[in-house]
Structure 1
Amino acid sequence: MRKATLNDLDNIMDIIKETVKDMNSSNNYQWDDNYPNNNTFKNDINNNTLYIKEIGGNIAGFICVDYNETKEYDELDWSLNEKAAVIHRMAVNPKFRRRGIGTKLINFAKEIAVDKNINHIKTDTHSSNDKMDNLFRKCGFNPVGKVQFEGKEDTFICYENVLK
């Protein structure tokens, strides 16, 4: 696992395009042509919060881990009321799916949290994103509730993992 660089942007955006196609085929419109975009990932890279899993010199997947909770999270009853690591913008390259990359990315996020003495991870996904729902649950995340983000018609399921 390594931190992403600006040189990775084109490959990341190619993975996003393929991921959006896959999401749309399942009636999941969580991501689109506007989000996440090049600037979103530039900010993640400049903030040192975007991580890459490489296999054979190719980006197999990526994950953003930071501490920025969206205001909609305030509506939910989380298990802990303390600083949390937050998973955003995670995707696995379609060429590398079904190889455990998603699990490795989430386990890496847990390592980051533990290294920073953080005991709580939060995340969310579109309510129709069954693949992510299954992955989060498999990795020990529990659903906390649903929120609706500004500009989105559908709800998003929020999850937490308490690391203690």
Structure 2
Amino acid sequence: MTITNSTLADIDAIFKLYDAATAYQKTVNNKSWSGFERALVEKEINENRHFKIVDADEIACTFVITFSDPIIWKNSDQEKAIYLHRIATHPNFRGRGYINKIVEWSTDFAKERDVDFIRMDTHSGNDRLNKHYMNSGFTYKGISSIEWTSDLPEHYKEGPFSLFEIKL
């Protein structure tokens, strides 16, 4: 299992993974992703912010990082943090502890850059997922209601969002 930057050659596999993750979300929660613009994912890849976990020679999981998230995290965005987004695991690889691997990787990544927090958000209301994140080392920080802007993916129109953080 390795974590590396995604490449443009991975983009079709990434979108298949997003489709599978969205289908799964619909079975466990009343909120799900609404699809993503290809240009957004290409931009993230070109900026070296889109990552993949490769396991058994397949893309098993993907995630994105940002260094700023003021719409969701409001004033907390003034602190040095990395923000995890769009963690998606292929159904064939679910249950292998990738969130823990992402936390380990993010911790090393953040410490190398003198960053104080690892943060993430998810739709509120999925208690099982919230508990999973807390069991992986995140502290629940409450709920954020946001005003959607075109800078955000479509699924952010359906809030509110649970916030999670690891203080390093």
Aligned to 1:135: 132
| Structure 1 residues 1-164: aligned runs within 5 Å | 1-33=3-35, 36-74=36-74, 82-149=79-146, 150=148, 152-163=157-168
Structure 1 counterpart of 2:62, which letter?
A: F
Could you tell me the TM-score, scaled by structure 2's length? 0.85
Runs of 4+ in 1 over 6 A off after TM superposition: none
CA shift, 1:72, in A, is: 3.1
- Superposed CA offset, 1:62-116 (max 9, x none): 11122021323116xx5x9521111111111111011112221222122211111
C-alpha change, 1:132 and 1:107, in structure 2 (3 Å) is farther
Contact 1:52 1:60 in 2 (8 A): yes
- Point out where structure 1 has 5 or more consecutive residues left out of the alignment: none
SS for the counterpart of 1:154 is coil
Contact 2:63 2:86 in 1 (8 A): yes
Using the alignment, how far apart are the partners of 1:5 and 1:28 within structure 2? 32
Using the alignment, how far apart are the partners of 1:100 and 1:83 within structure 2? 26
Using the alignment, how far apart are the partners of 1:92 and 1:138 within structure 2? 18
- Point out where structure 2 has 5 or more consecutive residues left out of the alignment: 149-155
Using the alignment, how far apart are the partners of 2:59 and 2:126 within structure 1? 22
Structure 2 counterpart of 1:27, which letter?
A: N
Q: More helix by proportion, 1 or 2?
A: 2
Superposed CA RMSD: 1.9
Contact 2:51 2:62 in 1 (8 A): yes
The percentage of counterpart residues that share the same residue type is: 26
- Superposed CA offset, 1:43-79 (max 9, x none): 110110111110121001111122021323116xx5x
Q: How many residues are treated as equivalent by the alignment?
A: 158
Using the alignment, how far apart are the partners of 1:10 and 1:38 within structure 2? 10
Structure 2 counterpart of 1:160, which letter?
A: E
CA shift, 1:131, in A, is: 4.5
